[in-house]
Structure 1
Amino acid sequence: MPASSRPKDLVYDPTDPSVMADPFPVYARLREEDPVHWSPSLKSWIVTRYTDVRDLLLSDTLSVNRLLQFYQSLPPADALLLKDIVRYLNLWLAFRDPPDHTRVRRIMRHAFTADAIAEMRPRIEDISDLLLDRLAAAGTKDVDLIKEYALQLPAFVIMDLLDVPRDMLDDFKDWSDDMAVFIGGARNSEDKYERAARGCRNMSTYFRKLIEERTAHPKPGFLMDLINARDEGDKLSDDELVATCILVLFAGHETTTNLIGNATLLLLRNPDELSKLRADPDLIDTTIEEVLRFDGPTNALVRVVAKDHDFHGRKLREGERVFVMVNSANRDPQMFDDADSFDITRKQNRHLTFGQGIHLCLGAKLAREEGRIAIRKLFDRFPDLALDAENPPEWLDAMVPRGTRRLPVKLEG
């Protein structure tokens, strides 16, 4: 175990319900007292200051290729159980270093251009209107906004992109939830390996059949663009295509669901800021950026130490896991004026929510567009939207994503 001189009373426990609901006081202490913190319970380093998080995300001293070592350390029974999910996750951009990462990202970027996102805007607006119409027609004022809106909007966008029927939402939600307990770092799930294997098996089987069908019977669209995407004669392999579809569906809806939920919660908890947005709808862009900074959908990014090195007096050894705490970095007062204030008019906002460098999120433009449309239309349709005072939000039990599992609201005051 690495030596540590951390204050004895400073413990970061992500399983503590109070920390799940509001981790920022602990992050503030970590930044001030122990910015490169060894967590015995997580067996990982916790890095919390803005400049450190940014520099590590840009550094070659850390690697995203963290699955192989983990997989090789598993007992044989667990390794067999996780064989398929590790096979596909190892093909995700998020877990690949150059040159493999460079090659796959270069191919995938053809399907994620600014023009492609612009073409999707009317569809996102239509989906938002459809879901809000359903809420208005349901005749109830008490709803879980995550289940009825924040989850469905990005899920339908991604499912439409991938040519997946919308009536499969429940299936894909179950499969994604099963994978999330493994990928997102859930701390309180005893059966996460079994669930992850099941979710990956179901999703990969579905996408492999869909890709085979689309290849045999071409149809214009995002999936066909992925199948046909080439760069200098190179293209995605069959396994890479399946892995990319899983990644697009999983990451494409989870992050945006949390963004919409967190944005709604923050605006309802900060009525003065909501009033500013209502008075000037053009503030929607800076509103979304401030949500991404103040309590964004990505709590942490995970890396492993690629080679032994010293970092602020600590010895980081090859193979050790590092959580670079993006949400802590985004509240660092050394980088942001009045960092703990939610200010939708903030001008200087170089948050790290979508990463840095070569691993900057490919789907960032799409997430932003969905967030802008979802929030603007939600508050236009339900001007009296309010939190349910008797039922507080329920936060995700996870290290990586940051959001609510349930967000009870009242559509009318």
Structure 2
Amino acid sequence: MDYDPFSPAIAENPYPTYRWLRDNAPVYRSPVHGFYALSRHDDVVAALLDHDTFLTSHGTTLEGIEQGFDTLLTTDPPEHEWNRRILARRFSVARVQELESRIRAVAADLLDAARAGGRIDLVQDFSAQLPLTIIADLLALPADQRERVHELCFLLLDRGPDDTPGVRPAASVAAGEELATLFLTLVAQRRAEPGDDLISLLVHAPIVDDTGGERFLDDRQLLGRLIELTFAGHETVKKLVSTGAVRLAANPDARRELVADPGLIPGAVEEMLRIDPPAQYTGRWTSRAVEMHGTVIPADSRVVLLLGSACHDERVHPDPEAFDIRRQIGRQLGFGYGIHLCVGAAFARLEARIAFAELLARFPDYQIDHAGVVRTYSSNQPGLKRLPLVLAPA
């Protein structure tokens, strides 16, 4: 069996292929694209923790979405730690909890607006809009630019089933260029007139290295951080909430349990992260040759760490294809692991928990209009572009 992350069939259901890889080719080499892939849970975790051997500075996606951007995810130690400190406190669990009332109010407004019509596109009108509104608040994005930023983030990632594998479509490249212009304009404004927002923080907070030396992010680094924050700040939650809603519709007993006891929602969100992680893989680059399971991965090789497969590894998760909202997951890989664990993980968890609490309180018996479902394709973040729901108010 071949594993081609650009295949529409893989985007729609990769898990049977992942199981074959785990059982038959735990160190797989793509005959077409040339990368290596690790699929077993323990191997993926070991690579995520070995940041001296498995580097991120050569990029983490096969399409090269991050090319030209200096992001946290594509920065190796020690620079990674120096840069991460700027944002870590802003996205601590305690700081994130301060946003709960605002997140809940936005979620309620979006859902209540759909009540009269009896329908909602859960992706376009809720799971994308909720996190976009909150991250836009934190960045103090001008109101007239917010929807365009959402459109550009979508275009940056969107792939069609007929697009050339491994090549960014022209629309993706153009979206990146437009985002760059937009954010650099805001950077110049906040450099001259700082405020109490994340852009101003990044512009004016110095990076302090291990020797105590200080410097400030340049425009290229600022651009990378802002695109990373905006993209990850709403694309992750958009996918998590939409795929979670599909899982609940397919598991009505679990949905009834959550309606009856909303206290189970945090555990359900963890299971959603496990069974459908927002990123199916994260890419690395080997700094030296590595031997695993009798296969040598040469130095200077692209390695794909299959988070989606690791989360379904029956060696760690019994009956991994079952959606179990009471599952004790242990090590969660849905937001990555190790030094590159998503800096906004607590933020995304809170948004997802509130999203499902508000959705199920209002529309516990929503139904999916399957005729209107539209998928989007990428090698590591496939998901849903349209998810129309028929709403039955509580």
TM-score normalised to structure 1 length: 0.86
Change (3 A) 1:227 1:122: farther
* Residues 153 and 365 (structure 1), Cα distance of their counterparts in 2 relative to 1, 3 Å cut: same
**Aligned with 1:355 (options 303, 318, 336):** 336
Q: Which amino acid aligns with 1:408?
A: P
Find out whether 1:44 has 2:23 as its counterpart.
Answer: no
Q: Is the 8 A contact 1:186 1:399 kept in 2?
A: no
Kindly provide the CA deviation profile for residues 176-223 of structure 1, in whole angstroms up to 9, marking residues without a partner as x: 133225xxx877434725333322221121112212222322322333
Q: CA deviation at 1:375?
A: 1.0
Q: Say yes or no: does 1:189 pair with 2:181.
A: no
Other-structure match for 1:215: 191
**Which SS does the other structure have where 2:73 is aligned?**
helix
Name the counterpart of 2:124: 147
Deviation at 1:398, TM superposition (A): 1.3
Residue 410 of structure 1 aligns with which residue? 390
CA RMSD between the two structures = 2.4
Q: Structure 1: how far apart are the matches of 2:12 and 2:307?
A: 16
- The unaligned stretches of length 5 or more in structure 1 are 1-9, 72-81
Q: Indicate which of 19, 25, 28 corresponds to 1:34.
A: 25
The residue number in structure 2 matching 1:14 is 5
Instruction: Give the secondary-structure state (helix, strand or coil) at the position aligned to 1:405.
Output: strand
Is the aligned partner of 1:256 residue 2:237?
yes
Instruction: Return the offset for 1:387.
Output: 1.4
- Cα-to-partner distance string for 1:377-408 (whole Å, 9 max, x where unaligned): 011111221112444x4333112114222222
Q: 1:193 to 1:295 in 2, by over 3 A?
A: closer
SS class of match (1:339): coil
Q: Distance in 1 between matches of 2:161 and 2:342?
A: 25
8 Å Cα contact 1:296-1:327 kept in structure 2: yes
Name the CA distance, whole Å, in 1 between partners of 2:143 and 2:240.
Answer: 21
SS of the aligned residue for 1:46 comes to strand
Pair 1:165 & 2:128 matched: no
Separation in 1, partners of 2:6, 2:272: 23
In structure 1, which of residues 40, 43, 58 is the aligned counterpart of residue 49 of structure 2? 58
Question: Take 2:367 and 2:348, find their aligned partners in 1: how far apart are those partners?
Answer: 24
Structure 1 residue 234: deviation in Å?
4.3
In structure 2, give the amino acid aligned to 1:121: E
The 3-state SS of whatever aligns with 1:343 is coil
> Secondary structure of the residue that 2:300 maps to in structure 1?
coil
Is the 1:260–1:371 Cα contact (8 Å) retained in structure 2? yes
Give 1:55 shift. 0.6
Q: Between the two proteins, what is the percent identity of the paired residues?
A: 32
8 Å contact kept, 1:110–1:229: no
After TM superposition, give the deviation of residue 13 of structure 1 in Å.
Answer: 3.1
Shift of 1:290: 0.5
Amino acid at match of 2:376: L
Q: What are the within-5 Å matches in structure 2 for residues 295-334 of structure 1?
A: 295-334=276-315
- Say if 2:362 is the partner of 1:381: yes
Counterpart CA distance in 2 for 1:228 and 1:115 is: 23
- Could you say if the C-alpha distance between residues 343 and 57 of structure 1 is closer, same or farther in structure 2, counting changes exceeding 3 Å? same
Deviation at 1:140, TM superposition (A): 4.2
Higher relative helix content:
1
Q: Does 1:25 align with 2:5?
A: no
Give the 3 Å change call, closer, same or farther, for CA 145–363 of structure 1 in structure 2.
Answer: same
CA distance in 2, matches of 1:187, 1:109: 37
| In 2, Cα distance between equivalents of 1:273 and 1:57 | 32
1:125 aligns with 2:101: no
Q: Name the structure 1 match of 2:175.
A: 199
| Whole-angstrom CA distance in 1 between matches of 2:345 and 2:189 | 29
Q: 1:146 to 1:205 in 2, by over 3 A?
A: same
Counterparts of 2:195 and 2:127, CA distance in 1: 29
Q: Return the offset for 1:111.
A: 2.5
Deviation of 1:20 after TM superposition, in Å, equals: 2.0
CA shift, 1:337, in A, is 2.2
Decide whether aligned partners of structure 1 residues 234 and 109 sit closer, same or farther in structure 2, where only a CA change above 3 A counts.
farther
1:15 deviates by 4.1
Residues 141-177 of structure 1, C-alpha deviation per residue, up to 9 Å, x if partnerless? 3x32111111111111111111113442332133213
Tell me if the contact between 1:85 and 1:200 (Cα under 8 Å) persists in the aligned partners. Answer: no
Give 2:211's aligned residue: none
CA displacement, residues 85-140 of structure 1 (integer Å, 9 cap, x when unaligned): 733x2x10111111221211122223222232112111111111121122124x24
Distance in structure 2 (CA, Å) of the matches to 1:159 and 1:132? 19
If the length of structure 2 is used for normalisation, what is the TM-score? 0.90
How far 1:325 sits from its partner (Å)? 0.7
Is 1:95 aligned to residue 77 of structure 2?
A: no
